[in-house]
C-alpha cells in the first residue's frame, strides 16, 4: 500500500471517516493522534476541517514521506512521526482522540492498546474502524488470511469488545454500517511511488481475491471507548 500510496484504504474510506467525526466536539484546542496515518489523508482532513492539533504516526518510511509531502503541499501544521503504536515515543495523557483505521488488526493488540490507553487524556476517546469476522472460520482458512496479511489473530465483534474492555477502556459503543466491507463509498486516492516492483501488482491481485472469497465472512465495526 505504501508504494501504491492508497489513501483511505480502510472500510468506508475517507467518506466514512468524515461521517464518524461529525458528532464529535472538535476545535482548535483538540489534540488528535492518527495511528497508522499512511499518506496522511485523514490527518489532513482533521487539521483542515477542524483546525485541530493533529499528529500522524506510522511505522512505514514511504508512508511517512508521502504524508509529510501532503502536509507541506497543503501548508498544514500536522506533525508526522515514524514510530510504532506498540512502543510510542510520545508523552502520556497527550491526546483527546486517538484514531485507528484498520491498524490494530496488524499489530500486537494488547500491547498497542496499552500504549493507546497511556497516550489518551482522562476521558479521552479511542475510535477504531477495524475488520471483524461474522463467524469463526476453519483453521485452514484462518491461516490463509493470517499468513497473507501477516496478522496473528482474527476477531469477531464480540472479541474486539472484550479486548477493549480488558485493556481498561469504558463507555464502549459499537457502530455498524450497512455498506459491506467491499462496497466502495468513494474512489480511493492514489499516490504512486516512482518505482513499483512488478510483483507488487500480483500481491494486490491476491488481496482482491481474498476479499472476494471471504466477502460473506468479513465485516467491520466502528468501536469507540474512553479512558
CATH number at residue 45: 3.40.50.150
CA nearest to 5, candidates 51, 65, 63: 63
Name which residue leads in pLDDT, 202 or 115.
Answer: 115
Q: Are strands 31-35 and 120-133 parallel, antiparallel or unpaired?
A: unpaired
Q: Is residue 172 part of a domain?
A: yes
Q: Is residue 1 part of a domain?
A: no
β-sheet bridge partners, residue 170: 226
Q: 122 is written with which cell numbers?
A: 482522562
User: What's the pLDDT score for residue 45?
Assistant: 97
pLDDT in tens, 63-89: 999 999 999 999 999 999 999 999 999
- Which structural domain range is residue 211 located in? 6-226
- Specify the pTM: 0.86
Q: Is residue 157 part of a domain?
A: yes
pLDDT in tens, 187-216: 566 565 556 566 766 777 787 888 889 989
The answer, yes or no, to whether residue 7 has pLDDT greater than 80, is no
pLDDT band for position 109 (cuts 50, 70, 90): very high
The DSSP annotation for 156-212 comes to BHHHHHHHHHHTT-EEEEEE--SS-TT--SSPPEE---S---THHHHHHHHHHHHHH
User: What's the pLDDT score for residue 208?
Assistant: 80
pLDDT in tens, 161-191: 999 999 999 999 999 876 755 555 555 665 6
Q: What is the DSSP letter of 138?
A: P
**Is 80:37 a contact under the CB 8 Å cutoff?**
yes
Q: Is residue 139 part of a domain?
A: yes
% of the chain at pLDDT higher than 90: 73
Q: Is residue 129 part of a domain?
A: yes
User: What's the pLDDT score for residue 13?
Assistant: 87
Number of structural domains found in the chain: 1
User: What's the pLDDT score for residue 6?
Assistant: 57
User: What's the pLDDT score for residue 3?
Assistant: 40
Amino acid at each position: 500500500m505504501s508504494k501504491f500510496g492508497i489513501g483511505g484504504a480502510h472500510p468506508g474510506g475517507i467518506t466514512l471517516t468524515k461521517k464518524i467525526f461529525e458528532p464529535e466536539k472538535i476545535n482548535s484546542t483538540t489534540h488528535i493522534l492518527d495511528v497508522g496515518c499512511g499518506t496522511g489523508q485523514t490527518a489532513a482532513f482533521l487539521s483542515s476541517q477542524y483546525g485541530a492539533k493533529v499528529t500522524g504516526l506510522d511505522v512505514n518510511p514511504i508512508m511517512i514521506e508521502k504524508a509529510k509531502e501532503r502536509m507541506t503541499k497543503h501548508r498544514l501544521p500536522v506533525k508526522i512521526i515514524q514510530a510504532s503504536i506498540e512502543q510510542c515515543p510520545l508523552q502520556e495523557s497527550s491526546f483527546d482522540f486517538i484514531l485507528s483505521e484498520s491498524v490494530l488488526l496488524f499489530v500486537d493488540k494488547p500491547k498497542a492498546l496499552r500504549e493507546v490507553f497511556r497516550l489518551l487524556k482522562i476521558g479521552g476517546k479511542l475510535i477504531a474502524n477495524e475488520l471483524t469476522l461474522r463467524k469463526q472460520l476453519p483453521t485452514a482458512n484462518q491461516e490463509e488470511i493470517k499468513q497473507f496479511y501477516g496478522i496473528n489473530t482474527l476477531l469477531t465483534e464480540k472479541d474486539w469488545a472484550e479486548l477493549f474492555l480488558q485493556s481498561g477502556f469504558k463507555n464502549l459503543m459499537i457502530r455498524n454500517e450497512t455498506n459491506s466491507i467491499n462496497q466502495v463509498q468513494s474512489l480511493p486516492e492514489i499516490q504512486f511511488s516512482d518505482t513499483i516492483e512488478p510483483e507488487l501488482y500480483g500481491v494486490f491481485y491476491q488481496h482482491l481475491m481474498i476479499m472476494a472469497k471471504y466477502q460473506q465472512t468479513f465485516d467491520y465495526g466502528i468501536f469507540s471507548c474512553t479512558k
